[in-house]
Structure 1
């Protein structure tokens, strides 16, 4: 009933979306004018991010270098943000297993350790579950995964409840490992979810932002500051860090999960560095009230930025998909003392295209000879190295694409985006 009421309100007072390719010959400008309700900024950013669109300027007087003319994308943006949008207003869901039209989604959180992905995928292979899509993040000794699996026999979702119970029980045992002080989760939930959105929620709920005792206060951490202006009833958050794809999305996700409303902001990129500034209030209308709350905001935003930064050597695997493929590949990694710090598993038209970030499980530099041996075992043309082991041990590996954004919006109810191109 509440959902229907929200849809009615949205149709009575819909967001106004204007996509303009005429005002400037080299820029597409997307303007979203709507009430500044909780989550609207996240909806906009999520839709644009999912389309792999690179945003460079928000003000029309700065001339970008490309026009977006794909009518299908323009129409999709208008429909996604307009009055007929079916975008879920409430995106917080529990962790677990849920059946969808063509697969079963499994959401997991637990303590990270070398070989964890290998053990999880081995359990799924043993239970005749084929992993068709998955994303795995690790941060601050914690791990989170969203996996889409199918029944080996039927090729569809797992319908047998007893079998689902077995999957949950065995995976939970694997995730717990020998660490009894932190909880592992594998429980049932319902409804569709956005994978990266869920990973942020899961790691936030798992408190991956809590620093361990004795943790090095590294200069590599992003610079995050929160201050209150004496003559204003809001807090100002400023962030300086290395620019990378989806940085804006990651930060907005966390601010939304922490129940803050962004009512003004500015995001700029200067060379390899990103600068972001947000004016925020809690949903109860108050600014940050205490030093403890300020410190929590800082820690949570640092974690949001660092979760997606993947330390290690980037390996890409492309081959014909089959049941047990992920289990076999990650077992080879584990047997060669490599730990997976992040993974993206996709299946398209019977082809598996997987990306792994790996590092030596003992903390030493990745040995090129080990990588060569693994490639010979799996197949030189099937498993490719992106970059070199030496480069990977010097700095975190990131996507070669960039997600740039300038001048977020000028008022509480107005967003102006300058879209320039797809970064896929």
Structure 2
């Protein structure tokens, strides 16, 4: 009997496994227990990766997890999270609370497929784009060169995220055809784009130093998790970050215990999404987190994880050393010591190329970037550093803001005052800003403050 003639029994898409049907995830949200936090409790049948999914939902909502108790024994999983919003207050927004309840609680497959997934880039459907993933050696002006290549090939960048760490770079960029607004289908055209991007990223180094992948985007990709995977695969994490002082490096200790777990203890400065970065790394390295205690009462955090490998084994000495390096890299990737610039204005083709070119021409290098499009508005966040290694000169930044618009380009986290700027550099800045403004004269310069 051939496969074409085989008649398979019909299964209703709402039918779930016995475990999910009779033991569905149960989510409770408490706002009255504590004065300073919202408590989210999740009870569920256990499976590999469920902790990462829960943490991912909470962090994508820009919620900070400052305390958590995680238990996973046998077939059961229980999490208790103490969370606050970006202002450090309890979560009271009803839409956010309902989203947490629906996302973490039980839903049928039909409900899952029809649910409106919360995206960091509102109004952007990733499945209607072509996505390019790049890794390679970092250098000043690289993002400007990459975006210039895409603009030259008629690509409109709608979203992008760029991370740099330890002189390496990883980026995920979503784009469409500027003429059709649709994903690019021509394989020959995509081949030319890939060839040029590889040439730009590798620079004067061996071609093996750079990697590029272009494909049709899917809804299932989580950009930040993908960036962790790209940098892990790039193996740039294998060397410790020598640019950091010893007191700034996380303290990571790994030891066994009498119950057959490997206990991973981490002490470091706390920051948003730190828990996600650590859990993401452990999960993608095939470690199962059986128990965890997270406590972040102030600027520092203490996190203890009791883990085994997915095959049930604990870590030997080589595996411990490797995991320490990987965890330190995951913690440091998002810790960018740069000046945060937030750009909000009407989007247009080539905007990213123009803005990053101005940065490059004025000695600024992009250490991290988050580029999104919301209702035809470009909402871009750049962490910039001085390409020479000196602190960013605020004279340059203020002159740029004056030319572009103070409400359009905002600065967060001002560094200390710097010496007077030489006249030659000021002249170069104004000439670069004039070229950017000239290219934007057809835009509606309505001021838009970034939330």
Deviation of 1:34 (Å): 2.1
- 2:64 touches 2:83 (CA, 8 Å); kept in 1? no
Post-superposition Cα deviations, 1:302-326, rounded to whole Å, max 9, x if no partner, equal: 0110000112111111111111111
CA RMSD in angstroms, aligned pairs only: 3.0
Q: Among 260, 271, 281, which residue is 2:298 paired with?
A: 271
Q: Which residue of 2 aligns with 1:246?
A: 273
Q: Does 1:53 align with 2:63?
A: yes
Post-superposition Cα deviations, 1:38-81, rounded to whole Å, max 9, x if no partner, equal: 10100110011112223344589x99996545443333333323
Q: Does 1:311 align with 2:337?
A: yes
Name the structure, 1 or 2, with higher relative contact order (CA <8 Å, separation 6+).
1
TM-score (norm 2): 0.76
Structure 1 gaps of 5+ residues are: 89-98, 393-423
- 2:151 touches 2:349 (CA, 8 Å); kept in 1? yes
Q: Does 1:340 align with 2:366?
A: yes
- 1:226 touches 1:236 (CA, 8 Å); kept in 2? yes
Which is worse superposed, 100-109 or 301-310?
Answer: 100-109
Deviation of 1:33 (Å): 1.6
Q: Among 235, 248, 252, which residue is 1:224 paired with?
A: 252
Q: Does 1:24 align with 2:30?
A: no
Which is worse superposed, 71-80 or 168-177?
Answer: 71-80
Deviation of 1:217 (Å): 6.5
Larger Rg over CA atoms: 2
Q: 1:107 to 1:10 in 2, by over 3 A?
A: farther
Q: Distance in 2 between matches of 1:213 and 1:264?
A: 29
Structure 2 gaps of 5+ residues are: 1-7, 70-79, 114-124, 419-450
Q: Distance in 1 between matches of 2:406 and 2:92?
A: 39
Q: Distance in 1 between matches of 2:83 and 2:312?
A: 37
Q: Distance in 2 between matches of 1:267 and 1:225?
A: 15
Q: Among 91, 97, 100, which residue is 1:74 paired with?
A: 97
Q: Among 191, 204, 212, which residue is 1:178 paired with?
A: 204
Q: 1:182 to 1:391 in 2, by over 3 A?
A: farther
Task: Kindly tell me the number of residue pairs found equivalent between the two proteins.
Answer: 378
After superposition, residues 179-194 of structure 1 pair within 5 angstroms as 179-180=205-206, 182-189=208-215, 191-192=218-219, 193-194=221-222
Q: Distance in 2 between matches of 1:323 and 1:245?
A: 32
Post-superposition Cα deviations, 1:240-277, rounded to whole Å, max 9, x if no partner, equal: 11110000000000000111000001000132101100
Post-superposition Cα deviations, 1:72-103, rounded to whole Å, max 9, x if no partner, equal: 33333333233436689xxxxxxxxxx95432
Q: Which residue of 1 aligns with 2:237?
A: 209
After superposition, residues 333-372 of structure 1 pair within 5 angstroms as 333-372=359-398
Q: 1:57 to 1:364 in 2, by over 3 A?
A: closer
Deviation of 1:12 (Å): 3.8
Which is worse superposed, 182-191 or 199-208?
Answer: 182-191
Q: Distance in 1 between matches of 2:360 and 2:370?
A: 17
